Structure 1
Amino acid sequence: MHRLKSISLFMLLLTFTLPLATPAYADGIIIPEPPICIPGPCPGPIRIAQLAIKYHRVQVTIEDQVAITHVDQVFRNDNQWEIEGTYVFPLPPGAAVTQFTLWMDGEPVEGKVLTREEARQTYEEIVRAMRDPALLEYADRDAVQASIYPIPPGGERRIELEYTQVLEADNGLIHYSYPLNTEKFSTQPLEDVSVSVEVRSPHPVRAIYSPSHPVAINRDGDFHFTVGYEDTYVTPDKDFDLFYSIADSDIGLNLITYRDPESNDGDGFFMLLVAPSVEVDPNRTIAKDLLVVLDQSGSMDGEKFRQAQQALHYILDHLNPQDRFNIISFSTGIRSYASGLRSSEEAWQAKDWVDSLSAAGSTDINLALLEAVAQADGERPTIVIFLTDGLPTEGVTDTQAILENVKQAAPSNVRLFAFGVGYDVDTFLLDTLAQDHHGDTTYVTPGQAIDETVSGFYAKVSTPVLIDIELDFGDVVT
């Protein structure tokens, strides 16, 4: 693979920064040109479809606020004729291209880095020819351009591009944006779309938040984390945004405000991010109570139940010295490890009890949850982990009745986290239970490891350091 000389000069732009409020329109597109009819003239107007985007994969590394974005896209020609196209990739302000490879029949094709003036001229020419006003949003930006010919009917072209930009920290809050809005440029939903972000920071990272997409966050201490988003057969209609805050203090505090400039309403919105350190001093950990509600009905038999038992082993091995716990297993009826909460010193005995369980019987969810919340101590933080793979089939089976029963019985300090295993769970029941009791829901599909999922979750909630948080807005009306 040969180096692109025209790109190497562009590296000088690395010293520029990206303002926080500026969106980074950087989604590469291929604009097809009208076919040439031989012999002419063409037999009337020919409608040209935009190329389909087969997959769109983005890998980002951010270190010391320098973001390196690697884009990998495959385009497909769904027209019935061979076409020529122009690939245009509008660059974020201050970005520098470090790699650009356009693969045609296994061979790399050189691209051209355009100045802002050249890019504007290219956009205007395409808009005049194609009458595609969507391109006008890219005016006044540097760009990468490459001519692509031929693209046979049903043929594909792969493009890889990498650029670097510097992210600005606004009062300790850092914003990374990548535009995934491909709706107006793809004829079909994307078969595969993913964004992976890895961040290494010289300062402790506190809050991590994506307002645009459901993301998985994996933290490795205070200075390193990864974020992942992926989906299939979707037409993304919003850009990918990631915010994270940095602070040397024990608790990070950041405020994000927004007011629609086109609205006549003078009021706006705000979001307050509060996050403690990930690396916790054991002496400052708040004692908690943990109640595990485990489905041992017949449908859990086999590998699923074995993995659930391994997950419980992990939880019991990672109790803090001042924690208390109990385990309630349920099927047609319920069984409890103990009559009430027990000290973490009994964890080894509880592991033996878990290993003695076997899966059989029906599913009495209502009775099991009521037994668990009845043991909650209103004076201590209480976490309920509820794991099931099915629908209620025993006792109270009406979803609304179960929700109301648990709401009335559970103290306000209970946080319930539900894990649904497989495809036969009552998602409305699990989601509402978690929402009503300040928790979250995780679904484990067939083939996923139950023990790894539950263990990974517990590692995040095992050491609470902030409880009973209150906000005082004074005279401000919210």
Structure 2
Amino acid sequence: MKREKIIRVIVVFMFFALAVISSPAYAAGLLTPKDSGLPVLDIKDHNVKVVMEDGYAITTVDQSFFNPHGKDLEAVYSFPVPDKAAVSEFTMWIDGKPINGEVLEKKKAREVYEDQKSKNKNTGITEKNEYKTFEISVYPVKAGQETKIRLSYIQPVQVDTSMGRYVYQLEEGGVDEEALAFWTTNEKVSGTFSFDLVVRSGYPVASIRLPNHPSAQITQKGEDWFVHLDNTLNEVQSSTGQDTALTINNQQDADAAAQPVAAIDTAFRLNTDIVVYYKHAENLPGAVDMVAYKEESAKRGTFMMTVTPGMDLQPLAGGRDWVFILDISGSMQGKYATLAEGVSRALNQLNPNDRFRIV
């Protein structure tokens, strides 16, 4: 395919030192006109799907924004990505056509973006700043039309003492005061909001709870657990008199919800983090799990190993015993240096009272 026929979204990741504590949140995704003094564009829809499986959580966010202005805009889409997460997809829809992201080297990506924009072609560029916020320059945001954006990211699941935790960040917070002063936040969704999460754990899950959203729908089908939130009950209280936790965040909201015919502002507010806890069943045995990945054209791959001790395992007070088994067969010729480097790094992480053997 010729280059001039390709409509691109360029995705480039700029990794900085991770000395920053946390990232500022912009209601989990804003589209702001660039260098124009115009306010952030209205969030029409905000839908989230999360799949937790094999030690990873894959989050996919679909949002649509409306440009009410009489001209096409260049805008910046900003989204707070969790620490240790990696963006796996960025797609935007213009004139109903999906435009997928392409990972390029930083300098090359900027050159292609500026070239495509100068030719009035649809383009975007994603950069990660030091506060773990991804900023995507998008052009054009069509006048009087909706722009749909999809962002997916993958992150390791946090599990400690049989308790797993997932957070979809919506609240404002962080240490970048300059960025907070520059960006105008928008916590309202005028259309639909939904949050769907599925837990596919290799270990039995005993329970799931959402402390900030007690009325979330939680169901179990076989070994899988499902969580659902939406804003369909945004305007009224339930018939049982129980407040709808999705929308009632203070007494003022509660008073408004009690008056179903006097809904002044029906927009759903994105101002409370969605925190999901799940607990494994008790007395599970210890286990070792590994997930491997290698591209077809790659010579080397990567893997993630998760070691889960049993709950009855007593603390080790007298040091640990380690055995390093090295393959020095003919097929490993030329790789001995890599083996030695790996063992050396591991030995540097041992405690003074640990013991080891190399076989």
Q: Whose strand fraction is larger, Structure 1's or Structure 2's?
A: 2
TM-score (norm 2): 0.49
In our comparison, the structure showing a higher alpha carbon Rg is 1
